[in-house]
Amino acid sequence: MDGYDVGSVHQFHEHIIIKGYAMRAKHMMFFLLSLFLALSFIPVGSMAEAPQVGYIDVHSHIFGITGGRGGSTDYPGAVKKALSQMDKAGISIMLVMPPPFTGGQRGVFEAYDFVSAIREYSGRFAFLGGGGTLNVIIQNVAQSREISPEVRTRFEEQSERLVTLGASGFGEVTAEHFSLSSSHPYESTPPDHPLFFLLADIAARHDIPIDLHMEAVPQDMQLPDDRRLKQGNTPARLKANIAAFERLLAYNRKAKIIWAHAGWCNTGQRTVKLMDEMLGRNPNLYMTVKIGKDSMEETRPLTSEMKIKGEWIDLVRKYPDRFMIGSDQFYLTPMSPLRQPPGRLESITAFMAQLPQDLAYKIGNENPKRIFKLGK
């Protein structure tokens, strides 16, 4: 997730809201038939406004912090805002999670804080946990290869607590997260760190996935000369992480690891070719698609004219069981003094509308239900 520090949420661009689409009477029978067949899209009217049927968003964030005194929160308000957007966009189920926080960061929260709010809407939400606890522990010992028994025990206890709470997976955690403003921390931990190995073992034991945020750095390289990146605290020199990531994937093949944000890249290195090669070598690797104009244009699935690139259709077609949609959309409580972050659902809508219907249904419905055990 980009720009997750609550104090810097206002630095996003203006929020893009997908307009609702009023179905005309002459299309009603087609709409009901499509709903019955559980198709992912109804190609009527503008593709950016066409509602989706049964689309599951597996990576989003709700922020309940109101900015009031004493750390007051309003998670029910944030959840209602998310639910309203879900209904407009045709999202049937949303998986929400805390972002990958660091120790000492403002507004840290964990799944415990919002789970009661989402459980009021049975069947519409599920959640992942660990961004406010497990990731903090990982980042605190990021540069150490020796983990004390105390840290290991605390990590395991926090993991098991989240499983007991009902988490559908662990996330959002990070191995390489760029800083996008002065108040936004830079996070970097080798993907083959002992705590990532431990998390893989725990995830495999419970058969739940890990949601991992990691910028692609195939070899040591300079930070791209991008004004947006220069505003933060990311170092000028980046360390390679792809080989270490593959060591994590190979460590426990029973651990399902989701490499979040395919299509949203800040190094220019997460190419279709790289993803194709990694998916081919690692059967336990999965990816979620995120599309935003606040990333490198050359690695986005859509052109500037919102047309899907053929190589992306080929990639999803080659690995139809490994992709899902994860918009990384933020939902703030109406009581928050901060500006709503930018919307990404319009781009996701355009992407899904242009996929062959079997692929759209596969990544929008079948894969999320299987990987996260939804509806069981």
> pLDDT of 106-131, one tens digit each?
889 999 999 999 999 989 999 999 99
Using the 8-state DSSP alphabet, how is residue 290 labeled? -
Is it the case that residue 2 has pLDDT exceeding 70? no
State the sign of the Cα–Cα–Cα–Cα dihedral 218, 325, 8, 141: negative
Place of tokens 């080798």: 190
Is it the case that residue 7 has pLDDT exceeding 90? no
Which of the two residues, 375 and 125, has the higher pLDDT score? 125
Give the type of residue at 103.
G
Before 14, cis peptide (omega within 30)?
Answer: no
Beta bridge partners of 258: 211, 286
Q: What backbone torsions phi and psi does residue 213 show, to the nearest 5 degrees?
A: -95, 125
State the sign of the Cα–Cα–Cα–Cα dihedral 200, 143, 288, 262: negative
> pLDDT of 17-48, one tens digit each?
222 323 333 333 333 333 333 333 333 233 34
Three-class SS of residue 101?
A: coil
What per-residue confidence (pLDDT) applies to 69? Answer: 67
| C-alpha span between 210 and 288 (Å, rounded) | 12
> pLDDT of 193-243, one tens digit each?
999 999 999 999 999 999 999 999 999 999 999 888 888 999 999 999 999
> pLDDT of 272-325, one tens digit each?
999 999 999 999 999 999 998 888 999 999 999 999 999 999 999 999 999 999
Is it the case that residue 11 has pLDDT exceeding 80? no
> pLDDT of 74-105, one tens digit each?
999 999 999 999 999 999 999 999 999 999 88
State the sign of the Cα–Cα–Cα–Cα dihedral 225, 230, 235, 241: negative
| C-alpha span between 37 and 195 (Å, rounded) | 44
| C-alpha span between 264 and 278 (Å, rounded) | 17
Alpha carbons within 13 angstroms on the beta-carbon side of residue 203 total 33
For residue 32, give every residue at least 6 positions away whose Cβ sits within 8 Å of its Cβ, in sequence order, or none. none
What per-residue confidence (pLDDT) applies to 376? Answer: 66
Which two tokens mark 245?
A: 């990531």
> pLDDT of 129-148, one tens digit each?
999 999 999 999 999 999 99
| C-alpha span between 123 and 94 (Å, rounded) | 9
Give the type of residue at 146.
E
In order of start, what are the domains of the chain with their CATH numbers? 6-13+54-371 (3.20.20.140)
Three-class SS of residue 142?
A: coil
| C-alpha span between 192 and 76 (Å, rounded) | 37
What per-residue confidence (pLDDT) applies to 230? Answer: 85
Place of tokens 């990958």: 100
Share of the chain above pLDDT 70, in %: 84
